[in-house]
Structure 1
Amino acid sequence: MTQVFREGVAATDPAYINLRDSDSDPARAARELTESLWLRYSPYADDHFLDCIPHEFDERFWEMYLTCSLLELGFDVHCPKPGPDILIEADGGRVWIEAVTPTSGALGHPDAIPEPQFGKAGRVPEEQILLRMRSAIQGKYETKYREYRDKGVIGPDDSYVVAVNGCQLHHAIADDYPPWIAKAVFPIGGLQVALDRESLEVAETSYQYRGVVEKCSGSSVSTDIFLDQDYRDLSGVLYSKVDAGNPTARMGDDFILVHNPLANMPLDAGLLGCGKELAVRVEGDHGVIEDTDWNSRA
């Protein structure tokens, strides 16, 4: 079988080139992981996978890792062409999954995520990160989902998930709680604390409402798409920041699955049974975050 890393390939992706050409132990481990995944993934890959991966390594690795993780979890997995990247069947229902790996944006663009300055204290650019995630989700939903729905590939009773990988987003390691992927689809702002006036003890904690993120141009982008009826066909989003050089001990432990409470075809609670799962229950004019850490239950 043809391998992923091949000498003589005119590659353009720095990650592919660095992993292929380095003799370091981490690079060898990353190559071994990639090739082992390829052995399992190859029957599901499109005909252009090996031609594309030297030029878009992280994107293609994410598709492969995601598919192999779902196989490892015991799902009945299909990758029909044409169609979204992955189709799984669970409890008699069909769930389509479209993978996307957003970048930090064009160098010099005012809304791009700036590179971290190592050795210097600085602010994590959360707004720019949310803009990149939000744009990736919107792009897949408004183009790919609509296209496949119009062609009848995705049926009216099928669920649809956008799987976002943040490995190319600068500062991704600084993600906090609630995770950025949740803040990209729910209007969740910063943590606020209410103190008792007399005792000065914490009386209540909550998160500020943030319905939009401002772009440098002055225009605003909504962060409440999971409260928007126009996105009711988006059942949820899945997030990971895994890459070939930074895998988890068990595949899927890195996943964060966020449910859309308004989805026409909602996802079953505990669908994946791995990683973390987050939902927001709407109560009147506010929401309650409910999360499950499946890793702690293992």
Structure 2
Amino acid sequence: MPTRQAQLRTTGALLKKTKVFERYLLQRVVAPEDVRIIAIGAGSFGLYATEHPLPLIVSSVFPIGDAYVTLDRDTGEVVGGGYEPSYKIERKGPAQDPIPRTAFLDPTFAQITAVVWSRVSIGNMASAERPLTLVSGR
């Protein structure tokens, strides 16, 4: 599964769970001052969710695109690098609007304190590397 598809599934889950918390706030199941954490698992695409150089969830909720490296043409030495800004995740199809990659910069998600992300699932449970990632916008 390409990274873009995994990011779309992740942002879709985040939006769905955010709406649940909106309902909980209106129903007073949770108070505005409560910490509200959403858990998202990679599920069936856990084997394909990228973790390097950043966990997939980070590039799904912040405008972080592809990594790049700048080389000195004369020496071939690495002189810089970083990440390209990427504010949207493109979707295929003529009537498919891109999905914003700015959840923790967008007031729509202001009621969410953090996201716990795991790519561990059936099929890759032996993964000892970075079993959980906590991402907070606050």
Do the structures match in fold with TM over 0.5?
yes
Contact persistence 2:42–2:49 (CA under 8 A)? no
Unaligned runs of at least 5 residues, structure 1: 1-112, 114-124, 262-298
Q: Percent identity of the aligned residues? A: 27
Question: In 1, Cα distance between the equivalents of 2:40 and 2:98?
Answer: 22
Q: Partner residue of 2:107? A: 229
**Secondary structure at the counterpart of residue 168 of structure 1:** helix
Deviation at 1:227, TM superposition (A): 1.3
Q: Does 1:178 align with 2:59?
A: no
Q: Does 1:189 align with 2:54?
A: no
Query: Cα gap change, 1:170/1:157 in structure 2, threshold over 3 Å: closer, same or farther?
Result: closer
Instruction: Count how many residue pairs are aligned between Structure 1 and Structure 2.
Output: 135
Q: What's the TM-score, normalizing by structure 1?
A: 0.42
Q: Does 1:127 align with 2:4?
A: yes
Deviation at 1:170, TM superposition (A): 6.1
Q: Partner residue of 2:137? A: 260
Q: For each residue in 1:240-292, what CA deviation from the matched residue of structure 2 results, as whole angstroms up to 9, or x when unmatched?
A: 12235644598xx611111113xxxxxxxxxxxxxxxxxxxxxxxxxxxxxxx
Q: Does 1:238 align with 2:116?
A: yes
Contact persistence 2:46–2:121 (CA under 8 A)? no
Alignment of 1:24-63 (within 5 A): none
Match of 1:242, as an amino acid?
A: V
Contact persistence 1:184–1:223 (CA under 8 A)? yes
Q: Does 1:154 align with 2:21?
A: no
Question: In 2, Cα distance between the equivalents of 1:173 and 1:233?
Answer: 26
Match of 1:140, as an amino acid?
A: K
Q: Does 1:137 align with 2:14?
A: yes
Match of 2:62, as an amino acid?
A: F
Contact persistence 2:47–2:119 (CA under 8 A)? no
Q: Which has the higher contact order (CA 8 A, sep 6+)?
A: 2
Deviation at 1:226, TM superposition (A): 1.1
Contact persistence 2:66–2:83 (CA under 8 A)? yes
Question: In 1, Cα distance between the equivalents of 2:6 and 2:134?
Answer: 18
Query: Cα gap change, 1:186/1:173 in structure 2, threshold over 3 Å: closer, same or farther?
Result: closer
Contact persistence 1:165–1:242 (CA under 8 A)? yes
Runs of 4+, deviation exceeding 6 Å? none
Unaligned runs of at least 5 residues, structure 2: none
Deviation at 1:200, TM superposition (A): 2.6
Q: Partner residue of 1:206? A: 82
Query: Cα gap change, 1:173/1:131 in structure 2, threshold over 3 Å: closer, same or farther?
Result: closer
Query: Cα gap change, 1:146/1:176 in structure 2, threshold over 3 Å: closer, same or farther?
Result: same
Deviation at 1:159, TM superposition (A): 1.2
Question: In 2, Cα distance between the equivalents of 1:245 and 1:170?
Answer: 8
Query: Cα gap change, 1:195/1:249 in structure 2, threshold over 3 Å: closer, same or farther?
Result: closer
Match of 2:136, as an amino acid?
A: H
Q: What's the TM-score, normalizing by structure 2?
A: 0.86
Contact persistence 1:134–1:185 (CA under 8 A)? yes
